[in-house]
């Protein structure tokens, strides 16, 4: 990561954490449920979605305040719910996540399912408790439901599981990842643009950047699965091969996957160049692409 990203992270990560903590601390609910939710929320995620949202807002000259922090935090709640459910024995059956036992390994399957349900449901409460104008709140909450739901992330997970053991085409694999990973990252960047109050054209550009970022993220993840160890990853390495998952590496080989990653990053850079031409300083967003150095 470059210096600007590091500075940005150091500044806003604590505020994202605080917003999550304040919200969870303030709502009523069963103590065991809140504990299970907090466990996964605090399990050391990199907060890429909230950070990318706030960075998009910043790049478009918007102001980061309590409202935007709540939208950012709600995004992390949705992401965390998806990880808890994806890790369940009936799904990917993962024991490790971010270097720690997965939620159901600690709290049992029932509470893990309910912790996920709670994080998802209450993410909407958090967005809808902002002091933003109601038009914007509706748009932000609706777009989140579309990114996370049947038109996006949930369908992506279904496609991912249905595709196991089958050889998907590159096109199908892209579609799968656009839904599973891209939709929420596109939403993150889009939400930043919506909060900045820019026009629809620019909102669409940010969405596009987020989608390419999501694809890069997934290809990078596929590459790491074969090049890193379980300890380095904080999750079980080599699982993709064992489970005959459709990955860029399986489809294109390691060199091919690296090439595809570069092509995707170049698409993302092109979008940022467009935004620069519209008069914005996107250095910070460019910095986030350095995450994918291999």
| Site membership for a second copy, residue 188 (CB under 8 A) | no
224 is an interface residue for a second copy by CB under 8 A: no
Half-sphere exposure of 220 (CA within 13 A, CB side): 18
Beta carbons of 273 and 221 less than 8 angstroms apart: no
Asked if 129 interacts with a second copy (CB under 8 A), we say yes
Alpha helices in the chain (DSSP H): 3-26, 31-41, 48-59, 66-87, 103-107, 109-128, 134-148, 153-162, 170-177, 183-196, 200-227, 230-233, 239-242, 248-277, 283-289
Dist CA 68 CA 177 (whole Å): 26
Task: Tokens for 83, please give them.
Answer: 């990880």
Task: Please list every residue from 31 through 50 that binds a second copy, using CB under 8 A.
Answer: 32-34, 37
Q: Is there binding between residue 22 and a second copy (CB under 8 A)?
A: no
Q: How far apart are CA 46 and CA 220, in angstroms?
A: 15
Q: Which of 113, 98, 105, 109 is nearest to 43 (CA)?
A: 98
Residue 96 beta carbon to a second copy: minimum distance, rounded to whole angstroms = 19
At its nearest, how many Å lie between a second copy and the CB of residue 119?
8
**Interacting stretch for a second copy, rule CB under 8 A, among 53-61, 135-143, 214-222, 240-248?**
135-143
Q: Is 98 in the site for a second copy (CB under 8 A)?
A: no
**Per rule CB under 8 A, is residue 52 in the interface with a second copy?**
no
Q: C-beta of 14: minimal distance to a second copy in Å?
A: 24
Kindly list the residues in this chain that would bind a second copy in the complex (CB under 8 A): 27-30, 32-34, 37, 85, 88, 90-91, 108-111, 113-114, 116-118, 120-122, 124-125, 128-129, 133-135, 137-138, 141-142, 144-146, 148-151, 154-155, 157-159, 161-162
């Amino acid at each position: 990561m470059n210096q600007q990203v590091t500075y940005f992270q150091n500044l806003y990560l604590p505020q994202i954490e605080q917003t999550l903590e304040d919200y969870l601390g303030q709502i009523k609910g069963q103590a065991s449920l809140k504990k299970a939710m907090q466990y996964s929320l605090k399990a050391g995620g990199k907060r890429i979605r909230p950070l990318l949202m706030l960075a998009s807002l910043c790049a478009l000259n918007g102001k980061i305040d309590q409202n935007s922090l709540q939208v950012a935090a709600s995004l992390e709640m949705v992401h965390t719910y998806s990880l808890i459910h994806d890790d369940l024995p009936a799904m990917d059956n993962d024991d490790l996540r971010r270097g720690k036992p997965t939620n159901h390994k600690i709290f049992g399957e029932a509470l893990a399912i309910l912790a996920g349900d709670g994080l998802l449901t209450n993410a909407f409460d958090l967005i809808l408790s902002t002091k933003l104008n109601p038009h914007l709140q509706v748009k932000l909450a609706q777009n989140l439901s579309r990114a996370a739901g049947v038109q996006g992330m949930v369908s992506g997970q279904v496609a991912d599981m249905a595709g196991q053991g089958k050889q998907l085409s590159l096109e199908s694999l892209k579609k799968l990842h656009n839904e599973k990973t891209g939709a929420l990252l596109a939403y993150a960047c889009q939400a930043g643009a919506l909060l900045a109050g820019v026009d629809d054209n620019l909102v669409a550009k940010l969405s596009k950047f987020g989608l390419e970022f999501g694809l890069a993220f997934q290809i990078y993840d596929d590459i790491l699965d074969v090049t890193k160890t379980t300890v380095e990853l904080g999750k079980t390495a080599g699982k993709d091969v064992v489970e005959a998952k459709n990955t860029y590496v399986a489809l294109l080989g390691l060199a091919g996957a690296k090439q595809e990653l570069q092509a995707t990053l170049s698409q993302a850079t092109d979008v940022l160049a467009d935004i620069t031409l519209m008069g914005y300083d996107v250095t910070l967003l460019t910095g986030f692409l350095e995450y994918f150095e291999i």
